[in-house]
Amino acid sequence: MDLSYSEKDEAFRAEVRAFLAEKLPKELSEKVRLSQDLEKSDMEFWHAQLNARGWLAANWPKSFGGAEWSAVERNIFEEECAMADAPRIVPFGLSMLAPVLQKFGSKAQQDHWLPRILNGDDWWCQGYSEPGAGSDLASLKTRAVLEGDHYIVNGQKTWTTLGQHANMIFCLVRTDTTAKAQEGISFLLIDMNTPGIEVRPITLIDGGAEVNEVWFTDVKVPVENLVGEENKGWTYAKYLLTHERTNIAGVGSSRAGLAAVKRIAKKVQARGRPLIENPHFAARMAQVEIDLMAMATTNLRIVSKAAAGQAPGVESSLLKIKGTQIRQEITDLARRAVGPHAMPFASDALDASNTPLPDPYDAGEVAGPYFNNRKLAIFGGSNEIQREIYSKHMMRGAK
Ligand SMILES: Cc1cc2nc3c(=O)[nH]c(=O)nc-3n(C[C@H](O)[C@H](O)[C@H](O)COP(=O)(O)OP(=O)(O)OC[C@H]3O[C@@H](n4cnc5c(N)ncnc54)[C@H](O)[C@@H]3O)c2cc1C
């Protein structure tokens, strides 16, 4: 699994490890290791720790207060954080909206919103999908009509991840109903505390409620919250999605997940031998490890392009497909390894304050992450759609 790292890279890795040893509390990393639900305050705490160290915005240019790390540094950081069971950095403001504001936002928007993202003053969520607009996102219907110096927004967004915590939402809205679908969309920043907004939770297959419906009834949005030009939102939306898909690859968390499965498979006995020695199980482990090595290299190539200032292109679809397949396979291996001990799944088990369920292999919650990770092939644009995007690109290239 080793890529070659220079002495300078290894020194950086040591620095990251020392930081994690000092700043990541054991109770928090245990919650992450055991796949228990994190509180909003847990995520805010970790965000603040990274910001204080100047390590929050790895992908931002220095001119905006970012770390502007090389691809290798980002890779090392992600890997070490995952192996130490650090909480995931909530991506909506930091890795999704921020690149859009940096490229298309006005100076006033950059000056106002970007420092707030770093400080954790706002919790952003993503208002793209609607009940009738998922894969076919351009058919979205949430309407924004300009009246004086405000847009009046009506409609419904859905699948809004962590919207229950958010005070801000970036939304795609329809501002022209007569133009071609893609040409009548605008990108608006909306304060979730504006009258007329209602957030309703959706319960997922793992029993958790991390996604929501967001309803808008005559919501007034100041015109200065329009990003870029009216009716040009589709361009900004697509730019954001390439960043979202690249982030989903999750090389570090797959490495941590695979290491955990190995640990469990050494403890589990199957027919008198450790499961890790079972040829069928070992072959699946080896296959996923090889896939992960290949993807890690592709990821480095694509991230270094992004670090050099280019937007990740169609390759982000490739990363999204491979990265999510690998993550799903790892949760499936964990589920199979613990066998019946994955069964007493109850959403209550995800709550750290409840009495723990029997866990002879110290595997933590296994069925929950297995079910939860089914989402990976759907969100950020389903894997079927990513295959279409990538194959169209390949066909064009082959001409
Ligand atoms: C857990 C979770 C969290 C999410 N978080 C957010 C969020 O925070 N913000 C947000 O805006 N959205 C979010 N989404 C929405 C997500 O982006 C959409 O679910 C996704 O784009 C698919 O859209 P859909 O659900 O409407 O399915 P549909 O578009 O109805 O697709 C249904 C099925 O048909 C397949 N399909 C559709 N069209 C084609 C085609 N042309 N060719 C081949 N197959 C096709 C799809 O692959 C899928 O399997 C989230 C979704 C989930 C599950």
253 with 208, same domain: the answer is: no
pLDDT in tens, 365-389: 788 889 999 999 999 889 999 999 9
Both 73 and 129 in one domain: the answer is no
Inside any domain, residue 95: yes
- Decide if 101 contacts 114 (C-beta within 8 A): yes
Tell me, using a 6 A CB cutoff, whether residue 381 lines ligand 1: yes
29 lines ligand 1 (CB under 6 A): no
CB atoms within 10 A of CB 130: 20
Confirm or reject: Cβ of 324 under 6 Å from ligand 1.
no
Q: Output the domain CATH number for residue 283.
A: 1.20.140.10
Query: What average pLDDT does this structure show over 298-304?
Result: 81
Mark whether 261 and 334 lie in a shared domain.
Answer: yes
How remote is the CA of residue 377 from the centroid of ligand 1, in Å? 9
Q: How far is the CA of 220 from the centre of ligand 1 (A)?
A: 28
**Percent of the chain scoring above 70 in pLDDT:** 92
Question: Above 90 in pLDDT, residue 249?
Answer: no
Pocket test for ligand 1, best of 203, 378, 383, 389 (most atoms within 8 A of CB): 378
Residue 1 has pLDDT above 60, yes or no: no
pLDDT of residue 6: 85
pLDDT of residue 4: 65
Per the structure block, which two tokens stand in for 312? 């990740």
Is the domain of 256 the same as that of 370?
Answer: yes
- State the distance between the two ends of the chain, measured CA to CA, in whole angstroms: 36
**Total number of domains in the chain:** 3
Decide: 334 and 264 in contact? Cβ < 8 Å: yes
- Which residue's alpha carbon is at the smallest distance from atom 48 of ligand 1? 382
3-state secondary structure the chain: CCCCCCHHHHHHHHHHHHHHHHHCCHHHHHHHHCCCCCCHHHHHHHHHHHHHHCCCCCCCCHHHCCCCCCHHHHHHHHHHHHHCCCCCCCHHHHHHHHHHHHHHCCHHHHHHHHHHHHHCCCCEEEECCECCECCCHHHCCCEEEEECCEEEEEEEECCCCCCCCCCEEEEEEECCCCCCHHHHEEEEEEECCCCCEEEEEECCCCCCCCEEEEEEEEEEEEHHHEECCCCCHHHHHHHHHHHHHHHHCCHHHHHHHHHHHHHHHHHCEECCEEHHHCHHHHHHHHHHHHHHHHHHHHHHHHHHHHHCCCCCCCHHHHHHHHHHHHHHHHHHHHHHHHHHHHCCCCHHHHCCCCCCCCCCCCCCCCHHHHHHHHHHHCCCCCHHHHHHHHHHHHHHHHC
pLDDT at position 313 is 75
pLDDT at 241: 87
Domain boundary among 232, 264, 299: 232
- Whether 13 and 85 map to the same domain: the answer is yes
Q: Best of 379, 386, 391 to mutate for ligand 1, by most ligand atoms within 8 A of CB?
A: 379
Q: Is the Cβ atom of 219 under 6 angstroms away from ligand 1?
A: no
Predicted confidence (pLDDT) per residue in 327-363, tens digit: 999 999 999 999 888 865 555 655 666 665 667 877 7
For 36-53, what is the mean pLDDT?
95
Q: Mean pLDDT over residues 280-301, rounded?
A: 94
181 HSE (CA, 13 A, CB side):
8
Are 96 and 18 found together in one domain?
A: yes
Local confidence band at 205 (pLDDT 50, 70, 90 cut-offs): confident
Please state, in angstroms and rounded to a whole number, the distance separating the CA atoms of residues 171 and 140: 11
Distance CA 105, CA 233 (A): 11
Q: Is the sign of the CA dihedral 259, 262, 266, 268 positive or negative? A: positive
Cα of 131 from ligand 1 centre, angstroms: 10
Count Cβ neighbours within 10 Å for each residue of 310-333 and write b for 16 or more, e otherwise: eebebbbbbbbbbbbbbbbbbbeb
Separation of alpha carbons 388 and 377, rounded Å: 14
- The CATH number of the domain holding residue 51 is 1.10.540.10
Residues 6+ apart with CB under 8 A from 369: 35, 206, 331, 334
State if residue 128 touches ligand 1 by the CB under 6 angstroms criterion: yes
Ligand 1, closest atom to CA 163?
A: 8
Q: 64 near 57, Cβ under 8 Å?
A: yes
Would you say residue 228 has pLDDT above 60?
yes
Q: What is the pTM of this model?
A: 0.91
Answer yes or no: is 116 within a domain.
no
Same domain, 190 and 261: no
Specify if 348 maps to a domain: yes
**Cβ–Cβ under 8 Å, residues 118 and 53:** no
Examine the domain organization and report whether 391 and 253 are in the same domain.
yes
* Residue 243, domain member (yes or no): no
CB of 377 closer than 6 angstroms to any ligand 1 atom: no
* CA distances for 269 relative to 257, 264, 278, 302, angstroms: 20, 10, 10, 41
Q: Quick one: what percent of the chain has pLDDT higher than 90? A: 71
Instruction: Quote the ligand 1 centre to 388 CA distance (angstroms).
Output: 14
What is the average per-residue pLDDT within 283-287?
97
- Any atom of ligand 1 within 6 Å of the Cβ of 384: yes
Closest ligand 1 atom number to CA of residue 157 = 11
88-97, 191-200, 245-254: which has the minimum mean pLDDT?
A: 245-254
Task: For 155, list phi and psi in degrees, rounded to 5.
Answer: 150, -165
Q: Residue 242 — very low, low, confident or very high, per pLDDT cuts 50/70/90?
A: confident
Same domain for 90 and 221? no
244 Cα–ligand 1 center, Å: 14
Residue 348 Cβ < 6 Å to ligand 1: no
Range of the domain at 356: 249-398
